[in-house]
Amino acid sequence: MISRIPTYWVALGIVILITAWVASGSVETAKDSPPEATDTGQKALPKVAFREIGAVSVAKTITVQGQVEPWRQLVLGSRLDSYVEEIRVEKGQRVKKGEVILTLSEEDLPARMLEAKAEAAVAKSELTAAQSLFKRGLLADTELKVKEASVASAEAAVARLDQLLQHSVIKAPFDGVIETRHVEVGATVQTGTELIEIVDDTKLKLVGQIPQQYVLQLKAGDQMVARLLNGKEVKGRVSFIGYQANSSTRTYRVEAELSNPEHLRIAGATATLAIDLGEVKAHKISPALLSLDDKGNLSVEHLTDDNHVQITSVERVKATNTALWVSGLPQETRLITLGKGFVTEGQLVNAVPESDLEEERID
């Protein structure tokens, strides 16, 4: 037979339990404000490492491929029909301005000159007589002018022949070295035939093509350093900047003047040209940290003061085999070195110093 517990005993037990619960203080009272949120957002932010870098003064240079050219060179050609009578120089010989280097046969020029001078003398005599008649009213004005024209024509013939005689003697137009002899003694030449090539190597030109984005930064007098294939370096000063870009490459021709008192045989050699544009403030970074922005410009990811990602376009200033200097960043920059591939511009990140990660690896 199952015994039953009296109902009043059950009710009494419930009352005792409720009383004990209230006394324990476990009942929460209503609050006027919501509970404070726990700081769990930081754990959800993407993590990046940064390094603090500062700008320093760096010499800004533009480096292009170019060549060394002689200051000037000229192929001397014949200015009359004749033949080579004498050559007074050899290839490689140095000559002074005005020095006779080759003579052409005068042919019949001296005889023609005597004839022209005689005709000029007759014309002048006839003009003198005509002037006397004209003063006495015995000669018309038109007849006098005919005599004057005859004298002018005769004198012009003498001048032309005199010039041809001068052209029979070929002189050095400037100090230089004989590069090539195109003819030998006895060779028949015509007007325009190439005779001798002379090169002025007392000075040289360093020549290169500069990208259009740099041309406005150049000015006459800027220093240019040329490194030759054998490692030798020579220095010059910018003497010419082109006014029109090459239609194919959109680059501008730049020339620098280089003294060559030792007559170094480097004309025609290829060279790496570096033009000094002065000092600028730049940051040293690893080339691996460079990116391209939406416009295809070189850029760098770094942090704002409140740990948001910022992408800034930069300009290359100087480069070595292991490092790169760029301009365009704030004076003091927190450069993102790890994790930049997983964040976007403007994104809030959990930024930790690069040194902290190194300490963790050591531990």
Q: Is residue 81 part of a domain?
A: no
Quick: pLDDT tens for 4-58.
Answer: 555 555 555 555 555 554 455 444 443 444 344 444 444 579 999 999 999 999 8
Residues of the chain with pLDDT under 50: 1-3, 21-22, 25-42, 362-363
* pTM of the shown model: 0.63
Domain-embedded: residue 84 = no
Look at residue 340 in the predicted model and tell me its pLDDT: 87
Which 8-state DSSP code applies to residue 29? Answer: P
Q: Looking at the domain assignment, is residue 53 inside a domain?
A: yes
Find the angle CA(131)-CA(133)-CA(135) to the nearest 5 degrees: 70
Closest residue by Cα to residue 251 from 273, 269, 223: 273
pLDDT of the residue at 349: 93
The token pair that represents 338 in the structure block? 């790890």
CATH number where 286 lies: 2.40.420.20
* In a shared domain, residues 128 and 145: yes
CATH of the domain at 113: 1.10.287
**Residue at 183 is within a domain:** no
Does residue 4 lie within any of the structural domains?
no
Give the total number of structural domains in the chain: 3
Residue 100 lies in a domain: no
Q: Decide: 99 and 172 in contact? Cβ < 8 Å.
A: yes
Residue 113 belongs to what H/E stretch? helix 109-135
What range defines the domain where residue 130 resides?
A: 106-167
Q: Is residue 113 part of a domain?
A: yes
- Residue 14 in any domain: the answer is no
Domain harbouring 258, CATH code? 2.40.30.170
The pLDDT of residue 43 is 57
The residue type found at 200 is: D
